[in-house]
Structure 1
């Protein structure tokens, strides 16, 4: 069983990927085209992996290996900030889904 510290880091990173965007340093933009519509999903790169560009690119490589083609966007530039604002505006999940909550349980 992994140490508690490693479990906490993993759970926090997973929460950052799945929760609505707040203010991440990098985001992953995934575009899906179907017969009738185009779908764009935005996910934050976990803060622990977004500390430098190499780690963020490694996250993207793993993402593409398991989940499909995506694009990495650095949000600390004017163009990146525009993409982040667009993502926040289009995120339906932010309006209807409550933010995840972490609960600690003793066993």
Structure 2
């Protein structure tokens, strides 16, 4: 286990963005909630449309034809979106389910690196909404610590760009299907291998299995290029939204 230390000074900008809360809408749960609402609305409109189309003396074959047309329309409108949702669900573990442990691992790594206070006093708080979205904020932190925490968390959640280190998030669906997703190690934690490995250690403690990838070698660069567009964040882009407000 890495030993804690406090860095006396850090070469970071003195004025970080005054972020107070990070809101994450691009989760599988949010996408499925949006899709479910759209399907319900379409079904409701279709039923009322069929009722308005009924005429005295309409035969069962005519009614069956109307139902087939409605079903075909629904398949055209939602078939591709349903297939995409199923494919993403089987391929990736929803980031919303791991947001709390990811935030804890990140806060522990920032404390280890001496970038925020370590120990008691700081708490990463995650709130999961009924619509599948999530918000995260830092309780007990200064303006600087809050801004740094949310900025680095956004780096973890955003699509991959060109990070020095990448963490592979490993999981299994129903103990049968292997799932893999990839997240950037924040820039301030990827400057040295020691701090990147410490972050990976906290990740494995709080989140679960993970593999640290160094992208500044030929093999690492090839792997980064291979996985950069194959992440849940890339599939659900645009980027996370950081909102500047107190709760």
The question of a shared fold, defined as TM-score above 0.5 by the shorter chain, is answered with: yes
Match in the other structure for 1:63: 203
**Aligned with 2:183: secondary structure?**
strand
Give TM-score scaled by structure 1 length.
0.87
* Aligned-residue offset at 1:14: 0.5
Contact 2:157–2:233 (Cα < 8 Å) also in 1 = no
Give TM-score scaled by structure 2 length.
0.40
Gaps of 5+ in 2: 1-139
Cα distance in 1 for partners of 2:177, 2:141 equals 43
Q: How many residues align?
A: 107
Gaps of 5+ in 1: none
Q: 1:27 aligns with which of 152, 162, 166?
A: 166
Contact 2:172–2:179 (Cα < 8 Å) also in 1 = yes
Superposition misfits of 4+ residues, deviation over 6 angstroms:
none
Match in the other structure for 1:72: 212
Instruction: Indicate how the Cα distance of structure 1 residues 65 and 106 shifts in structure 2: closer, same or farther if over 3 A, else same.
Output: closer
Larger fraction in helix: 2
Cα distance in 2 for partners of 1:60, 1:106 equals 31
Instruction: Indicate how the Cα distance of structure 1 residues 82 and 76 shifts in structure 2: closer, same or farther if over 3 A, else same.
Output: same
User: Mean Cα displacement is larger for which, 69-78 or 93-102?
Assistant: 93-102
**Aligned with 1:89: secondary structure?**
coil
CA RMSD across the alignment: 1.9
